[in-house]
Amino acid sequence: MNARRLGCLSGTGLIAGTVTLVILGLGIWLGGGRWFSPGDLNARSGAPLGGVTSHAELAGNCSACHVPFWSADTMAGRCLSCHTDIQAQLQDPQSLHGGLGTQLAVSACRDCHTEHLGSDGVLTRVGADFPHEVTGFSLAAHQQNVETGQAFACQDCHLNGVQTFEGQVCADCHMRLDAGYLQQHIQTFGNACLECHDGVDRFMAFDHQQTRFPLQGAHQVLGCDACHLGMSTMAELVNTPTTCYACHAQDDAHQGQFGTDCAACHTPQGWKPASFDHNATNFPLTGGHLGVQCSACHVAGQYAGTPTTCYACHAQDDAHQGQFGTDCAACHTPQGWKPASFDHNATNFPLTGAHGTLPCVSCHASGTFAGLSTACASCHAEPTYHQGLFGLECAQCHTTNAWRPASFNGAHTFPMGHGGAQTCSSCHTTTLSTYTCYTCHDPAKTQKEHNKEGITDLSNCARCHPTGQEGDD
Amino acid sequence: MRRSGANELLLALLAVLLITIAYAAVVWWQGSLPAASDWLGHSLGAIGLFLMLMTETLYSLRKRSLSARWGRPATWLKFHIFTGIVGPYLAFLHTAWKFQGVAGAVLLLTGIVALSGFIGRYIYTAVPRTIEGAVMEEDELARQIEALEAELNAGLSGQPQNLWALAQWLGAKQSSSSEVGSVLGRAWNDWRETFIWWREKRRFNPALRPALNRLEGYIRRQQQLQRQRASLAAARRLLSLWHTIHVPLGVVLFLLAFVHVGAALYFATFLH
């Protein structure tokens, strides 16, 4: 023997290697792949699938489930080639495996299913992230065991493995929580809990739409106990009040001011938006009132008994500071404060003539409306033309249409309308206390004519001509 | 030799401890043992096999390479021991406590070969070697024994008479076991001599303790060389016998390991 030769190439090494290979070859020839199995396959029998009734019958036939890594086939594909029912489920999102496919993006059966754990080993092993609702029973209401204070573990309910569930588990556990209630409940409805309950207290297979209270809107997502709290008999369930207020009295933001007929304004979709018909009240909303928030008038949630007078809300808006009283509607409309339609003719100073076209401030300067004098002189100062001859009773001569023409009816020694005169100023050109005839009569010609008679004072014509006639003396 | 041998053992045990802590952390975190087929399990197996392959090949190649200059054989032996402990431990963790079929046989053989390695190491160190690792022949051992006697006599000159008497008494207190017994039982003999020396030294004045310690060193080295000289042939026979058993076990182990790996690659790579 060469001392430099590696041990594996020594005689004993070669013999041992050869014997090993022979024994291994014989073993594989006789037993197939059993030599490479990391553990026995599950021996639980079921319906024949793929020619076998249990995985254990596939022992030694590794390629029944395993594929070489270069193969286009997959282990999941091998599973589904036998488990055709699961293959069909995967096409149905409503099924257990179909639901898993959409929720977990499950790409391989072995994410949940195991093998080689012994002839009685578990075939399904799932973790806390398993979406239990796909089984038809949500764990939403089973997050924490109220008895232990710990999170629920699979085995708390699945006493014999996750693939099985004994319905009695529900009753056993819940009996410890409230025996009286559950006994009555089971007596009324039976002990097949899962036929009605899906883990979030939704009745399964129970069609609430067929009852006298079809579930609509937000009612559809509520847990049963939201309305049927504490009810454990059919009679209690059937006789559950159907009025809104029976359940929602405590939700009434209006504190009863609108009565108890919530549906008059609200729908099962939600409290908002609400559709209150204000026109059905004694204060229909028009104009600017349509665009304001409810709370603008109904302060502090006060609805019933809200005053309907304008001034009740708009007192602080009164630009007239109460001078026109509190009946805003006498002048204003709900469309807006402007334009306003004040009827001055209803006052003690109807607007006539030129007064009707003037802006209010022409008379009501400084925003003063009430208590103004109606005398002409309170607005119109006596003109110097009058020379104080007529007092302040303008209306004796003038109308509200215009200052002119005026209609003087007082004593006038000289005939008015002389020579076709139309206005006072025809003769009284500067003031009413003076006059001139030379507006019409040529002074030069008049002087020439009077010079013939030796008359030189031509300043007071009416003294010699009191009627305006040539023959007057 | 004993001290240098302890280093790689301590390092290996430290590595095993660290690996165990990391493994326990993973078990605690995921709540179960890492399956042999998952990423960590496969990694443990692959690294373990790689270390075991290094154990099996590198030291053997170095021993057989006359012209090699990369490292002394003794250093390679340390590496051999380190990988020979850590590799099998990783392979053991890789199993996830499943010992079935070829994989189970591989693990069983791994344990046997590793244990055999400890036995071989024990026998190997019974054969006296130079610092380069070369086996000492009997005449070299005789020369070293004579040199030690001269040193002992020189060391005892001027020492109290009772030290001479102690040296003569302890020097004559040789184990009477057979050659094979001397090889396999030397650990026991070492421990027994240590105890005797400790007991005898307590009877002397503490002021003589340094002289006693030097005396113990001379005499125990002398006795060791004498035992090795007497059991040299037996140690070589045992080492040869051990090789005859160990090598085939190793061959079978690695053949089955390769078959196991091949099957795993074929059937379970990526488990796709």
B145-185 pLDDT per residue, tens? 888 888 777 777 777 677 777 777 766 666 566 777 778 88
What is the per-residue pLDDT across A23-77, written as a single tens digit (0 to 9) for each? Answer: 988 988 887 888 888 888 999 898 899 899 999 999 888 889 888 888 888 888 8
Whether A99 has a pLDDT exceeding 80, the answer reads: no
Do B272 and A68 make contact, defined as CB atoms within 8 angstroms?
A: no
Please tell me which of A19-28, A128-137, A203-212 the model is most confident about, judged by mean pLDDT.
A19-28
Tokens at A374, concatenated: 């109606």
CA distance A217 to A432: 91
Length of chain A counted residue by residue: 473
Residue B44's pLDDT is 93
From the list B64, B263, B266, the residue facing A4 with the nearest CB is B64
CA distance A174 to A193: 11
When pLDDT is averaged across residues B99-117 and rounded to a whole number, the result is: 89
Whether A102 has a pLDDT exceeding 70, the answer reads: no
Do A20 and B256 make contact, defined as CB atoms within 8 angstroms?
A: yes
Taking CA B78 as the corner, what is the angle to CA B72 and CA B80, rounded to the nearest 5 degrees?
A: 100
When pLDDT is averaged across residues A250-256 and rounded to a whole number, the result is: 86
Contacts of A74 in chain B (CB under 8 A): 272
Do B267 and A66 make contact, defined as CB atoms within 8 angstroms?
A: yes
| Residue A15 CB neighbour total at 10 angstroms | 12
Contact assessment for residue A144 and residue A152, using Cβ atoms and an 8 Å cutoff = yes
What is the per-residue pLDDT across B197-223, written as a single tens digit (0 to 9) for each? Answer: 888 878 777 877 787 788 788 888 888
When scoring B59, B66, B247, B270 by the number of chain A Cβ atoms within 10 A, the one with the most, hence best to mutate, is B247
CA distance A223 to A230: 13
* Contact residues, chain A to chain B, C-beta under 8 Å: 3-8, 10, 12-17, 20-21, 24, 33-40, 62-63, 66-69, 74-75, 108, 110, 116
Alpha-carbon dihedral of residues A85, A90, A92, A96, nearest 10 degrees? 80
Complex ipTM: 0.72
Tell me which residue of B171, B160, B174, B148 sits closest to B203, measured CA to CA. B160
Backbone angles phi, psi at B264, to 5 degrees: -65, -40
When pLDDT is averaged across residues B89-95 and rounded to a whole number, the result is: 92
Contacts of A34 in chain B (CB under 8 A): 101
Residue A77's pLDDT is 87
Contacts of B56 in chain A (CB under 8 A): 8
Contact assessment for residue A456 and residue A450, using Cβ atoms and an 8 Å cutoff = yes
CA distance A304 to A249: 17
pLDDT: which is higher, A125 or A214? A214
Q: How far is A117 from chain B (nearest CA, A)?
A: 9
- Closest-CA residue in chain A for B98? A38
When pLDDT is averaged across residues A251-260 and rounded to a whole number, the result is: 86
What is the per-residue pLDDT across A132-181, written as a single tens digit (0 to 9) for each? Answer: 887 888 888 888 888 888 888 888 888 877 778 888 889 998 888 888 88
Give me the residue label for tokens 């197996």: B45
Residue A388's pLDDT is 82
Contact assessment for residue A14 and residue A27, using Cβ atoms and an 8 Å cutoff = no
CA distance B70 to B182: 35
CA distance A428 to A430: 6
3-state helix, strand, coil in chain B (%, to 5): 80, 0, 20
When pLDDT is averaged across residues B73-92 and rounded to a whole number, the result is: 89
Q: Which residues contact B90 (CB under 8 A, 6 or more apart)?
A: B19, B44, B45, B47, B48, B51
CA distance B258 to A150: 47
Taking CA A87 as the corner, what is the angle to CA A85 and CA A92, rounded to the nearest 5 degrees?
A: 95
Residue B1's pLDDT is 38
Q: What is the pTM of this model?
A: 0.54
Do A15 and B248 make contact, defined as CB atoms within 8 angstroms?
A: yes
Give SS3 for B238.
helix
pLDDT: which is higher, B241 or A304? B241
When pLDDT is averaged across residues A12-27 and rounded to a whole number, the result is: 89
Whether B229 has a pLDDT exceeding 90, the answer reads: no
Please tell me which of A186-190, A256-260, B264-268 the model is most confident about, judged by mean pLDDT.
A256-260
Q: DSSP for B95-123?
A: TTT---HHHHHHHHHHHHHHHHHHHHHHH
When scoring A8, A65, A111, A125 by the number of chain B Cβ atoms within 10 A, the one with the most, hence best to mutate, is A8
Alpha helices, DSSP H, located in A303-402: 310-314, 360-363
CA distance B144 to A257: 118
